[in-house]
Amino acid sequence: MLEERIAELKAVIASNDGSNAADARFARAVDELISAVYDDIGRIREERPRALFDLFVIKVLYVGRGSRHADVIDYLGALLDAYLYARRLFPDDAAGRPRTLYFSDVLDERRRIEFFDDRFEAYRTYADNALFLSGVFAPAAQRRHARGRGPMRGRRAGIDAGYYVSTGKTMYRMAARQREAERSAQRDTLERLADCFEVYADALNEMSERYIMGFDLALLTDKMLDGYNRHRASGERAPRDDARYLASRLRIDASSFPELYRD
């Protein structure tokens, strides 16, 4: 059911490609689906991760930033789904050993053939890595630097972020110039990713903070209070137990909310 509703949202986006159809009703439908995801937080879900990634991208990019391109929404959902597996970040070399892919590896012909059969895949994969790292992992890295871990932390953080943005944009542009980009109908998509790399990285930053590495705290708080109020009105234990579980995720204990923990 959830996947079907997400597919309906993507169909609306596709049918309005080139413009943004995120009116109040569309935005409300997205929020309702995210709320439904949070209803089962901490439980094993049956939906494919790809559907959830699509939903989160729609929220932060299409609704939150007014994106107009269905192809980018779809590309980023597929990218996030692919990075569920570490091999995407650490491709095997010629000997079958996982290895970090460096900018120099895709520029040097001798090194590139250890990882990839053609330039298009090499350039695109490196750019995807750069976008993923500067988007999804950037908030966690920023928190570590803010806590003061490591010498020269501020300068290193700035260099790291700028490096991935610069090299990622370059690789998307180089990938877009390859014949395979035209054959796979990805040239326009890759050029958009290059031109607006910072926008997409920023959207992934927000998504990471709210839905991947962390939680939407405001939504969790609302659900906790809703469960508590349902318990008060009905006397049922289930909504109280749900509220207590959410309180634990928010690190709210009995000293902070004694009414919730009172039997």
Q: Are 131 and 197 in contact (CB under 8 A)?
A: yes
What pLDDT band is residue 218 in, cutting at 50, 70 and 90? low
Q: What is the pLDDT of residue 252?
A: 75
Q: What is the pLDDT of residues 25-82, one digit of tens each?
A: 999 999 999 988 877 665 545 668 899 999 999 999 999 999 999 999 999 999 999 9
Q: What is the pLDDT of residues 125-184, one digit of tens each?
A: 999 999 999 998 764 445 444 444 444 344 334 446 788 999 999 999 999 999 999 999
The H-assigned helical ranges of 58-196 are 64-65, 70-82, 103-107, 109-115, 119-135, 138-146, 153-176, 179-183, 187-195
Q: For the chain, which residues make up each domain, given as ranges? A: 2-68, 86-212, 217-261
| Cβ(88)–Cβ(56) below 8 Å | no
Total residues belonging to the chain: 263
Strand-pair partners of 98:
92
User: Per mean pLDDT, which of 92-101, 141-150, 185-194, 230-239 is the most reliable?
Assistant: 185-194
Please calculate the CA angle 232-224-206 and round it to the nearest 5 degrees: 165
d(Cα 142, Cα 252) in Å, to the nearest integer? 25
